[in-house]
Amino acid sequence: MISAGAFAAVGAAATLWPLIQQMNPDASTQALASTEIDLKPIQEGQAITVIWRGKPVFIRNRTPDEIKKAADTPLADLVDASARNDALPEKAPATDLNRTKKGKENWLVMVGICTHLGCIPKGQSLSDSKGDYGGWFCPCHGSHYDTAGRIRKGPAPRNLEVPPYEFVSDTTIKIG
């Protein structure tokens, strides 16, 4: 009787295993879970766009002036008071320091999707309109983001999201 139950349990597990295994993401999907980016070629004031999990991620090497403008902005002037940083609690305030990494405040890393209707804001290219606050501008509906990626004007309800990322060296970050 015990051996029959054990035999049935092994048979059930052998039958269910392929069904459970097929629900796991395949290797190509798991490879997209994180990506490393070399920051060395990005000069001060320049920005690049990389793709992570099918989304554009904006990486900007901010100038001291851009950092100062963002740091000097009173929180009361912000539309969205949340940092929207996946590495911090949801209610963390939207200070410039809460949207960057300590000691690496010149590097701003954000998901480049407007929080209004999912457009991709302008501001990555040196020739792009950067809006009224010198950051990013979504021409589709007129949302203006500052030099920390915080919504300042327009219909977008939230700041641009800061994805999980870390510095693996002084010149390389890993997103995801």
Q: Going from the first residue of the chain to its last (176 residues), give the mean pLDDT of each consecutive group of 10, the final group possibly shorter.
A: 61 58 55 85 96 96 96 96 94 96 96 93 90 93 96 96 96 95
How far, in whole angstroms, is CA 81 from its chain's centroid?
A: 17
The pLDDT of residue 19 = 58
Q: Can you give the pLDDT at residue 91?
A: 92
- Strand stretches in the chain, DSSP E: 35-38, 47-52, 55-61, 107-111, 134-138, 143-146, 151-153, 165-169, 172-175
pLDDT at 10: 58
Distance separating alpha carbons of residues 114 and 128, to the nearest angstrom: 16
Answer for the pair 117, 139: CB distance below 8 angstroms, yes or no: no
User: Of residues 64, 141, 157, 164, which has the active-site annotation?
Assistant: 141
Q: What is the pLDDT of residue 14?
A: 61
131 Rama class: left (phi>0) / alpha (psi -120 to 50) / beta: left
Active site residue 141: yes
Q: Residue 116 is inside which H or E element, if any?
A: none
pLDDT at 58: 97
Rounded-to-10 torsion of CA 124, 125, 131, 134: 80
State the pLDDT at residue 6.
53
pTM of the model: 0.80
Q: What is the pLDDT, as a whole number, of residue 126?
A: 84
